[in-house]
């Protein structure tokens, strides 16, 4: 394993295992754009790669095949003309690989979805290439990856045609955790950030290595953000647009859903999304499914309400930051983030972004509670205000994280951002009690309901703090 890789131990073990196996393998690595898929394969397989080619965004099949052949010609010192179709291109690749006289050959095709252009028959040729290799005595280790997660899952991994059941293993590559971001920024890049700065970095860039690599160790945190997003020609200013265009052919449709969700921190139901976007039926279902697969949103469901209880939340940190601050920035203030200070808009974003960070680190919350080994289910719950049959008015409420445990306990989690110890006042205490009672009534549960606070620096010991049964701090979220 490369010393440059951070985390990824499980993924490296899998890549090495299938490389060393005694049969031909097709391994598909997928995950959000910029998450490090290409880097993982190159660093793990290194000099073992016999042929590598990367698809080009929105390029024609003829140009892609021409470049494919040029790569082959460079390796063979040949001068073969560009193939007429992908079938011929893969025949040339097979001939080259067999000419190496090795007992196993390694091929890495990057951004595979971009090679599958309209009417190119790329996927048919790719399928024929892999399926026909069984006649050869040489083992083929075919590693592919792509950022268009929906294509990878539907056209390759879940293919019902010639590639059905052919993928030996699919590997999902997740963004870095807070622990991994801390190690990368401080131990690798020498940033010397305190954990609160790392938290805010995560709130803006998520755990995306490509974005984190762009931070300059010689600049203060706020200046780094201004440089990346708000200065003239800032490198990440147009990233949002390209991100969606590169993933979805009908990107405006997907953006309409994302932008509706960005305005509602607590999330939206399917009906609310339909009302705001005009989408409905199968088209809306497919859009929500694809956004979920691509890690842009999270779906939480109340188990007692089934489909009707699903709530969709925007969970991609980079996208949330862009829509809250970058999209509407007029470009006049190149030090916008530095000058923003503690405004209402920033405080509102901090609160919601912190909730999302917590929801990205549920395993760390469970570890802090000492329940990692207990079977549990995590979900959200909401209830609208109503008057019951006895004339009692219930205000309604929402709980963004419930950890429903198999030991007859439920942790009802309050996730609150604060730059210092969080102070619970009488109003919040009453709200928690009323909401807990409403939850018990609606869920008809007899489980022990425990109030769990997740807040960076803990709870201030005061008159109303006894409402909290357990508290998770920022240090807990950094657990490996």
**91 and 193: one domain?**
no
- For residue 278, the enclosing domain spans 176-360
Q: The domain that contains 181 carries what CATH number?
A: 1.10.10
pLDDT of residue 25: 95
Same domain, 440 and 338: no
* One domain for residues 165 and 302: no
Find the CATH number of the domain harbouring 456. 3.40.1350.10
4 in a structural domain: no
Residues 50 and 115 in one domain: yes
- Comparison of pLDDT for 247 and 450, the residue scoring more: 450
Report pLDDT digits (tens) over 106-147. Answer: 999 999 999 999 999 999 999 999 999 977 889 999 999 998
3-state DSSP of the chain? CCCCCCCCHHHHHHHHHHHHCCCCEEEEEECCCCCCHHHHHHHHHHHHCCEEEECCCCCCHHHHHHHHHHHHHHHHCCCCCCCCCHHHHHHHHHHHHHHCCCCEEEEEEECHHHHCCCCCCHHHHHHHHHHHHHHCCCEEEEEEEECCHHHHHHHHHCCCCCCCCCCCEEEECCCCCHHHHHHHHHHHCCCCCCHHHHHHHHHHHCCCHHHHHCCCCCCCHHHHHHHHHHCCCCCCCCHHHHHHHHHCCCHHHHHHHHHHHHCCCCCECHHHHHHHHCCCHHHHHHHHHHHHHCCCEEEEECCCCHHHHEEEEECCHHHHHHHHHHCCCCCCCCCHHHHHCCCHHHHHHHHHHHHHHHHCCHHHHHHHHCCCCCCEEEEEEEECCEECCCCCEECCEEEEEEEEECCCEEEEEEECCCCCCECCCHHHHHHHHHHHHHHHHHHCCCCEEEEEEECCCCECCCCCHHHCCEEECHHHHCCC
Confidence of residue 322 (pLDDT cuts 50, 70, 90): very high
Residues 346 and 435 grouped into a single domain: no
Mean pLDDT across 155-161: 82
Whether 218 and 151 map to the same domain: the answer is no
Q: How confident is the model at residue 345 (pLDDT cuts 50, 70, 90)?
A: confident
| pLDDT digits 0-9 by tens, 417-469 | 999 999 999 999 999 999 999 999 989 999 999 999 999 999 999 999 999 99
pLDDT of residue 307: 61
Instruction: Give the residue with greater pLDDT, 320 vs 304.
Output: 320
Region 358-375 average pLDDT: 95
What is the mean predicted confidence (pLDDT) over 324-328? 92
From 338, 360, 382, the end of a domain falls on 360
Residue 254 lies in a domain: yes
User: Do 212 and 337 lie in a common domain?
Assistant: yes
Last residue of one domain, picked from the residues 154, 172, 190: 172
Check residue 308 and give its pLDDT. 64
Mean pLDDT, range 233-253, rounded to an integer = 89
Structure tokens that stand for 14 in this block? 């899998």
Q: Does residue 4 have a pLDDT over 80?
A: no
Q: What are phi and psi of 195, to 5 degrees?
A: -65, -30
Separation CA 29–CA 420 (nearest Å)? 41
pLDDT more than 70, % of the chain: 98
Q: How confident is the model at residue 265 (pLDDT cuts 50, 70, 90)?
A: confident
Confidence at residue 2, expressed as pLDDT on a 0 to 100 scale: 47
**Mean pLDDT, rounded, for 160-176:** 87
Domain boundary among 141, 172, 203: 172
pTM to 2 decimal places: 0.91
* Whether residue 308 is found in the same domain as residue 421: no
Instruction: Give the model confidence (pLDDT) of 177-191 as tens digits.
Output: 999 999 999 999 999
**Does residue 88 have a pLDDT over 80?**
yes
For residue 1, what pLDDT is reported?
40
Domain count across the chain: 3
Q: pLDDT band at 302, cuts 50/70/90?
A: low
Do 38 and 131 sit in the same domain of this protein?
yes
């Amino acid at each position: 394993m490369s010393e440059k890789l951070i985390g990824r131990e499980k993924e490296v073990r899998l890549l090495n295992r299938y490389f060393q196996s005694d049969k031909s393998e097709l391994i598909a690595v997928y995950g959000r754009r910029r998450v490090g898929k290409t880097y993982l394969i190159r660093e793990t397989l290194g000099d073992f790669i016999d042929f590598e080619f990367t698809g080009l965004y929105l390029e024609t099949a003829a140009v892609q095949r021409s470049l494919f052949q040029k790569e082959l010609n460079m390796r063979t010192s040949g001068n073969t003309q560009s193939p007429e179709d992908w079938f011929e291109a893969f025949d040339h690749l097979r001939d080259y690989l067999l000419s190496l006289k090795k007992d196993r050959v390694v091929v890495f095709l990057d951004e595979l979805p971009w090679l599958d252009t309209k009417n190119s028959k790329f996927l048919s040729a790719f399928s024929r290439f892999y399926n026909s290799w069984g006649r050869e005595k040489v083992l083929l280790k075919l590693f592919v990856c792509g950022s268009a997660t929906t294509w990878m899952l539907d056209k390759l991994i879940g293919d019902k045609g010639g590639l059905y059941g052919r993928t030996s293993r699919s590997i999902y590559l997740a963004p870095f955790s807070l622990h991994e971001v801390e190690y990368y920024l401080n131990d690798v890049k020498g940033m010397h950030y305190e954990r609160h700065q790392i938290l805010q970095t995560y709130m803006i860039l998520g755990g995306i290595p490509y974005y984190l690599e762009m931070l300059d160790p010689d600049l203060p945190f706020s200046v780094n953000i201004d440089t990346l997003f708000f200065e003239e020609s800032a490198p990440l200013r147009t990233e949002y647009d390209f991100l969606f265009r590169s993933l979805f052919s009908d990107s405006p449709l997907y953006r309409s859903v994302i932008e509706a969700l960005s305005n509602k921190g607590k999330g939206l139901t399917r009906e609310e999304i339909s009302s705001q976007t005009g989408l409905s039926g199968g088209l809306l279902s497919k859009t929500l499914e694809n956004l979920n697969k691509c890690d842009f949103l999270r779906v939480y469901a109340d188990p007692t309400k089934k489909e009707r209880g699903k709530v969709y939340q925007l969970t991609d940190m980079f996208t949330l930051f862009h829509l809250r601050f970058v999209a509407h920035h007029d470009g006049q203030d190149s030090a916008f983030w530095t000058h923003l200070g503690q405004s209402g808009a920033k405080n509102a974003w901090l609160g919601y972004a912190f909730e999302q960070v917590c929801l990205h680190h549920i395993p760390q919350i469970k570890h802090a509670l000492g329940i990692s080994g207990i079977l549990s289910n995590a979900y959200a719950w909401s209830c609208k205000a109503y008057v019951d049959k006895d004339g009692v008015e219930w205000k309604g409420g929402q709980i963004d994280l419930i950890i429903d445990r198999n030991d007859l306990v439920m942790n009802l989690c309050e996730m609150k951002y604060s730059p210092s110890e969080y102070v619970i006042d009488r109003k919040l205490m009453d709200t928690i009690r009323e909401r807990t009672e409403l939850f018990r009534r609606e869920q008809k549960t007899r489980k022990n309901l425990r109030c769990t606070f997740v807040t960076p620096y803990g709870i201030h010991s005061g008159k109303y703090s006894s409402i909290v049964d357990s508290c998770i701090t920022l240090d807990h979220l950094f657990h490996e």
